[in-house]
Structure 1
Amino acid sequence: MNSASALPVVAVTMGDGAGIGPEVIVPAVLHPDTLAVCRPVVIGDARRLRQAAQIVGVDADVVAISGPQEAEFGERRVNVVDLGLLPEDLPWGELSAVAGEGAYQYIRLAAELALSGAVHAICTAPLNKEALHAAGHLFPGHTELLAHLTGVEEVSMMLSTPKVKVIHVTTHIGLIDAIARIEPGLVERTVRRGHDALVRAGNKAPVIGVCGINPHAGENGLFGYGEEEEKIVPALEVLREQGVDARGPLPADTAFFLAGRGDYDLIVAMYHDQGHGPVKVLGIEAGVNLTVGLPVIRTSVDHGTAFDIAGTGKADARSMVEALRQAAELASAPDPAQETAAR
């Protein structure tokens, strides 16, 4: 075994083959920063990746393999578990049920590999929800699809930048609805998902800052109607009794500053903009969306399928490089015994 065998294996799903996924994957998996931190294995279509390599002008040796155990790594080699689902003449930048079916199958196989321990993280290129639905798979997106495939009922969104990581108790609902939905059980489960993700990535004792809901975290009842005491404090008491270092409720306007200087490994935001706003100020150029609560970490690029530029060679691979880096950072540690058995 060489030192590369200690790096996590990351399954890179090709997403919608009619979008820019193939064009960002080829340069990203060959990037020196990627190969320094992980062993990327694409789940997708070898022929489409070869077409993409030509379009973006990258000298790549796209090699079809049957599984991650066959992957070899070098400066030009792209390993792909080739499902061969896309026709050679699939148009770029056009909605296609065939491409939607491919996107589904790539994720399905990645989930199977993750559940078996053959890969240690998943990094997804974008899919097109309309194409996914046209193929008969009625899921809102990657997150819900992966939760279904892995048998998980509840997951959380985590945003990660080089300066701060944020996990959200609620996300895409109105503020009034978010406050109504927040309750001690949901807060406790969210904090624990974030804690467990960091522990699995090697941080054995993460320090977690939990935001309040109201300005100044309620200022001892001065603001709001006691939401912090009712909805957050009971959860923190249970978590601390169980050994989780969760601190708060904290005023959100200072929590992110403290996290940015290193006081906290993770901030828990109560609602969408409370977490997203500071993250976009602190590191939107390197921000990555993660799904935690799955049996494996999943990261994604911060852009869509970009049908308007697909097939033109204009796609920027930097977000994919960063998504791969953070997938590696938070991946489950490789099990040498398991890898030896696989060989």
Structure 2
Amino acid sequence: MAGAPLAISLGDPAGIGPEVILGAWARLRAERRAPPAFVVGGPELLRSLAERMGIDCTIVPIADPAEAVFAAAAGLPVLAGLDGALTPGKPSPDGARLALASLQWATKFALSEVAVGLVTAPVAKGALAAIGWDYPGQTEFLADACGQPYRDAVMMLAGPSLRTVPLTVHVPLAEVPALLSAELIIHKARIVAAGLRRDFGVLSPRLAIAALNPHAGEGGQFGDEEARLITPAIAALQAEGIDAFGPVPGDALFTPRARAGYDAALCMYHDQALIPLKALEVDDGVNVTLGLPIIRTSPDHGTAFDIAGQGVADPGAMAAAIVMAADMAAARVNS
């Protein structure tokens, strides 16, 4: 595994995935920060897109991932044998099939340690569902591929100044209280603490646990979840030696002073975690999957079909995802 490249999945070719891959690689190369990596499929698609958009990124087709480290001297290595049409802004079944094949192969390379980690470009879940995809998202697909239950794959959103973890994700807000439990908080906090130690070199992770209700329930006036679920979970984590504290009211959790006091904030629902991350790290936010045997990062944005091919998509989050995956791989080697 040492010295192996990162595998980058292509994402939906009708979205901004291919162009932010090109833009990120061009930026990282210019800054001399590009780690060994290769894109899984789409050499002609990417070549055409680079030419159309005027992106200075030479495409170097490779026949085997082992060629990536040496091919990178000449440009962006791209695995040949898997390709499709360039159709910015126009999702199609063929595009979804290409995105899925790229993801499947990239995952196999990571699992077999042919690749040191996996960076996934955005896919369209609706387009994938139309061709038989049966997963809520790429995270659940990866958990299944790794032979682990979905609950062990923990989403962490990370940027230069903040890391957040939503304990519940794509569910209606009205269902969140019933889905929360002390056991869920404890389970995911353990995975986050272990992931921070293993992949980020944080030897003694500090975990801030958010409240669910305004003012952390105000002594039960605004809800009892803090006293009934969250506080007992924090006590149990502390008894295990995990530096967890809270529940911290959501309106106090993300101030500059508060952020300096923890390494990750565990939030009770999707928007509680993603709004501050996107407000603070809109161009640098990375979606990291903790709890899996493989490294996986992704830019914290979607396919953005409405702006695909227009040259306005910012490649910053993809560049950050590539660098973060390489840093995580290095941390695992050094741990």
Please report the TM-score for the alignment, with normalisation by the length of structure 2.
Answer: 0.86
Match of 1:278, SS state, is helix
Which residue number in structure 2 is paired with residue 215 of structure 1?
214
Q: Which residue of 2 aligns with 1:29?
A: 25
Matched, 1:113 2:109: yes
CA RMSD of aligned residues (A): 2.8
For residue 164 of structure 1, report the CA deviation from its aligned partner.
0.9
Letter in 2 for 1:257: T
Question: Structure 1's 117 and 298: CA in aligned 2 closer, same or farther, altered over 3 A?
Answer: same
Q: What amino acid is the match of 1:207?
A: R
One of 105, 121, 127 as aligned partner of 1:125: 121
Equivalent residue runs for 1:304-343 within 5 Å: 304-331=302-329, 333=331, 335=333
- Between 99-108 and 142-151, report the one with greater CA deviation: 142-151
**Structure 2 match to 1:230:** 228
Structure 2: give runs of 5+ residues left out of the alignment. none
Secondary structure, counterpart of 1:254 in structure 2: coil
- Percent of paired sites with the same residue: 38
AA in 1 matched with 2:158: S
Aligned to 1:60: 57
The code of the aligned residue for 1:30 comes to A
Deviation, structure 1 residue 58? 3.0
Instruction: Assess, with a 3 A threshold, how the Cα gap between structure 1 residues 259 and 157 changes in structure 2: closer, same or farther.
Output: farther
Letter in 1 for 2:293: P
Distance in 2, Cα, partners of 1:174 & 1:332: 38
Within 5 Å, which residues of 2 pair with 1:84-163?
84-86=82-84, 89-153=85-149, 154=151, 155-163=153-161
Q: Is the 8 A contact 1:126 1:303 kept in 2?
A: yes
The equivalent of 1:206 in structure 2 is 205
Contact 1:299 1:326 in 2 (8 A): yes
Equivalent residue in structure 2 for 1:42, among 32, 39, 42? 39
Segment drifting more, 250-259 vs 106-115 = 250-259
In structure 1, runs of 5+ residues without a counterpart are 337-343
Whole-Å Cα distance in 1 between the matches of residues 22 and 279 of structure 2?
Answer: 29
Q: Deviations over 1:273-297 (max 9, x none)?
A: 3222322333323222333233233
Match of 1:176 among 164, 167, 174: 174
- State the match for 1:284 in structure 2: 282
Q: Alpha-carbon deviation of 1:265?
A: 0.6
TM-score where L is the length of structure 1: 0.84
Higher deviation after alignment, 222-231 or 95-104: 222-231
Tell me which residue corresponds to 2:66.
69
The Cα of 1:264 is off from its aligned counterpart by 0.5
Counterparts of 2:128 and 2:122, CA distance in 1? 11
How many residues are paired up?
Answer: 329
- TM superposition shift of 1:335: 4.3
Shift of 1:229: 2.8
Contact 1:210 1:268 in 2 (8 A): yes
Name whichever of 202-211 and 30-39 sits farther off.
30-39
Q: Which moved more, 1:323-332 or 1:128-137?
A: 323-332
CA shift for structure 1 position 135: 2.7
